[in-house]
Structure 1
Amino acid sequence: MEVHTLKILKDSKRDAQVITDPQKLEYILKEYVGNTPLGIRNTEPVVHATPKGMEKSDEYGYVLLLEFPADYPVPNQLTLFKTLKRQMEFDCELIEEGTNGVKMRVLEVRIDTNPRKQGRLINPDDSIVSSNFYISKNKIDMNPMWYSVSNRVIFHEEEKRLSARIAGLKIREMNPIDNRWESKILKKAKQGFIVTDLKEAKILWEQDILGTSKSIELPKIADEAVEAMRKMALDEGLKSAIYYPILYTNLQQQTFPIGYLYLESKEKELTKQDMQTLKEAAEEVLKRIKDANTIFLKERQAIVNIGLGGALLKITDPEFQQYILNRNEMVFDVIFKMQQPLRFYAEIKHIRQKDTGELYVGVEFKGLVYSEHSGMTSFERLKEYIEYMVQKGAPYEAPIAS
Structure 2
Amino acid sequence: MEVEYRSYLQSPRIWDTIRDPQKVGYILKEYVHNNGLFLKENPLKQELQILQTTPEGKIFLRIDPESLNEEGEITVYKTLSKHMEIGFRVDSINHEDGVVICSPEYVRIAKDGRILPRIEGLQGKVVAHRFHMLKKEQDSTKVLGTSGQILLTDLHKNILSEYPYSRLVFPSGKELSFEQELSKRTGKTIFVKDAISMDPLSKEESNGFNILDLKQELEEEMILEDRTKVYRSGKIQSFAIYPIYYKDPSGPKLVALGYAETKDRILDPAILKKYAELEDVFNDRIEDSNTLDVDIRQNVINASEGGILLEVTESQLVESFLHKPFFTADITFKMQAPLRFAFKIRHISQIGEIYLVGAEIVGSNDAKTNMTLLKKNLSFIKSV
Normalised to the residue count of structure 2, the TM-score between the two structures is 0.59
CA distance in 2, matches of 1:72, 1:183: 72
Q: Show structure 2 runs of 5+ residues with no match.
A: 168-254, 257-281
CA distance in 1, matches of 2:26, 2:44: 30
Selected match of 1:338 from 335, 340, 358: 335
Sort the Cα spacing of 1:302 and 1:125 in 2 relative to 1 into closer, same or farther, 3 A: closer
Q: Does 1:382 align with 2:380?
A: no
- Structure 1 residue identity aligned to 2:311: K
- Structure 2 residue identity aligned to 1:385: N
> Which residue in the other structure is 1:126 paired with?
124
Q: Show structure 1 runs of 5+ residues with no match.
A: 141-147, 160-169, 186-257, 260-284, 394-402
> Which residue in the other structure is 1:358 paired with?
354
1:319 deviates by 1.1
SS at match of 2:320: helix
CA distance in 2, matches of 1:40, 1:182: 64
Do the aligned partners of 2:142 and 2:148 also contact (CA within 8 Å) in 1?
Answer: no
Selected match of 2:317 from 305, 317, 320: 320
> Which residue in the other structure is 1:74 paired with?
68
Structure 1 segment 228-307 matched on structure 2, within 5 A:
289-290=286-287, 292-307=289-304
Q: Does 1:50 align with 2:63?
A: no
SS at match of 2:28: helix
Q: Deviations over 1:202-226 (max 9, x none)?
A: xxxxxxxxxxxxxxxxxxxxxxxxx
CA distance in 1, matches of 2:320, 2:130: 14
> Which residue in the other structure is 1:276 paired with?
none
CA distance in 2, matches of 1:15, 1:31: 23
Do the aligned partners of 1:64 and 1:105 also contact (CA within 8 Å) in 2?
Answer: yes
SS at match of 2:337: coil
Sort the Cα spacing of 1:21 and 1:79 in 2 relative to 1 into closer, same or farther, 3 A: same
Q: How many residues align?
A: 266
> Which residue in the other structure is 1:18 paired with?
17
Do the aligned partners of 1:20 and 1:109 also contact (CA within 8 Å) in 2?
Answer: yes
Q: Which has the higher helix share?
A: 2
Do the aligned partners of 1:155 and 1:172 also contact (CA within 8 Å) in 2?
Answer: no
Identity of aligned residues (%): 26
Sort the Cα spacing of 1:73 and 1:16 in 2 relative to 1 into closer, same or farther, 3 A: closer
1:290 deviates by 4.5
Do the aligned partners of 1:137 and 1:293 also contact (CA within 8 Å) in 2?
Answer: yes
1:381 deviates by 0.9
1:289 deviates by 3.3
Normalised to the residue count of structure 1, the TM-score between the two structures is 0.57
> Which residue in the other structure is 2:207 paired with?
none
1:20 deviates by 1.7
SS at match of 1:27: helix
1:5 deviates by 5.0
> Which residue in the other structure is 1:94 paired with?
90
Q: Deviations over 1:295-343 (max 9, x none)?
A: 3222111111011011101111011112211322222111112322211
> Which residue in the other structure is 1:64 paired with?
59
SS at match of 2:382: helix
> Which residue in the other structure is 2:106 paired with?
108
Runs of 4+ in 1 over 4 A off after TM superposition: 137-140, 156-159, 182-185, 285-288
1:349 deviates by 0.7
Sort the Cα spacing of 1:157 and 1:116 in 2 relative to 1 into closer, same or farther, 3 A: closer
> Which residue in the other structure is 2:144 paired with?
152
